Amino acid sequence: MNKVAIVTGGTRGIGEAISVALNEMGYTVAANYAGNEEKAQAFSDRTGIASFKWDVGDHQACMDGCARVSEFLGPVDIIVNNAGITRDGVLFKMSFDDWNEVMRINLGGCFNMAKAAFGGMRERGWGRIVNIGSVNGQSGQYGQVNYAAAKSGIHGFTKALAQEGAKYGVTVNAIAPGYIDTDMVAAVPPMVLDKIVAKIPVGRLGQAEEIARGVAFLCSDNAAFITGSTLSINGGQHMY
């Protein structure tokens, strides 16, 4: 039976590239999305990958969404926690809602999705959870105390859950992308973006497909001995 993967935020940007990569590996992919139904439908029409709508920051919605995917496609074997938002601003001007919404979706979504699928993975003796962190969760970033805290939390969440899943054949890893050529990064003012690229040793933005290849590897049987790790794909921007 084909393994079933859910990719949150899986119809656009990095998430779309991940969904396509896992589909090309032969997995049955469910691409989650939260908002734009028209774009999600266009994604499904273009790729043949089913899309499912729910808010990953809503615990019950994740439980119900995973149950719906299982009903239509089969038990969930792989979770890629990719969904995320930004609400940037310096702490002095940041509202509690800006803080809370980023934490609710970016970090809370990892808990919600893992909670929904982890038990079944344990019972079947095989599972893959890949959490998408960020270089800014590793190094920090001015004006992103909410985003950096949430992404840093993902890295700690990954290491702790990996210890719980290891003896059951469930691996839990993270990928920390650098600046990737997506719509989110395209919204950065050109002068700021030029300064960012100047600090990347390879001299360019990353491509979504480069992140997707890392996810695909960590979801494969070839990565069975890797758990609790963070793979940094950032062009050398941050090394540690």
Block residue for tokens 């590239």:
17
Distance, CA of 153 to CA of 227 (rounded, Å): 17
Kindly report the backbone phi and psi dihedral angles of residue 153, in degrees, each rounded to the nearest multiple of 5, phi listed first.
-60, -35
Q: Mind listing the pLDDT tens digit for each residue in 86-99?
A: 898 899 999 999 99
Enumerate the active-site residues.
147
Q: Return the closest-CA partner of residue 235 out of 192, 196, 198, 206.
A: 206
Domains and CATH numbers, the chain: 4-233 (3.40.50.720)
> Are residues 28 and 3 in contact, defined by beta-carbon separation less than 8 angstroms?
yes
Q: Mind listing the pLDDT tens digit for each residue in 51-81?
A: 999 999 999 999 999 999 999 999 999 999 9
Task: Please provide the average confidence, as pLDDT, over all residues in the chain.
Answer: 94
For 124, counting Cβ atoms within 10 Å of its Cβ (0-12 exposed, 13-18 middle, 19+ buried), the class is: middle
End-to-end, the C-alpha distance of the chain in Å comes to 40
Q: Provide the 8-state DSSP code for 175.
A: E
> Are residues 68 and 50 in contact, defined by beta-carbon separation less than 8 angstroms?
no
E strand intervals along 105-164: 127-132
Length of the chain: 240
E strand intervals along the chain: 4-7, 28-33, 50-53, 76-81, 127-132, 170-177, 230-233
Q: Is residue 240 predicted with pLDDT exceeding 80?
A: no
> Are residues 10 and 32 in contact, defined by beta-carbon separation less than 8 angstroms?
yes
Distance, CA of 118 to CA of 151 (rounded, Å): 21
**pTM value?**
0.94
Q: Which pair of tokens denotes residue 56? A: 């990953």
Give the max Cα distance, the chain. 53
Q: Mind listing the pLDDT tens digit for each residue in 148-194?
A: 999 999 999 999 999 999 999 999 999 999 999 988 777 778 888 88
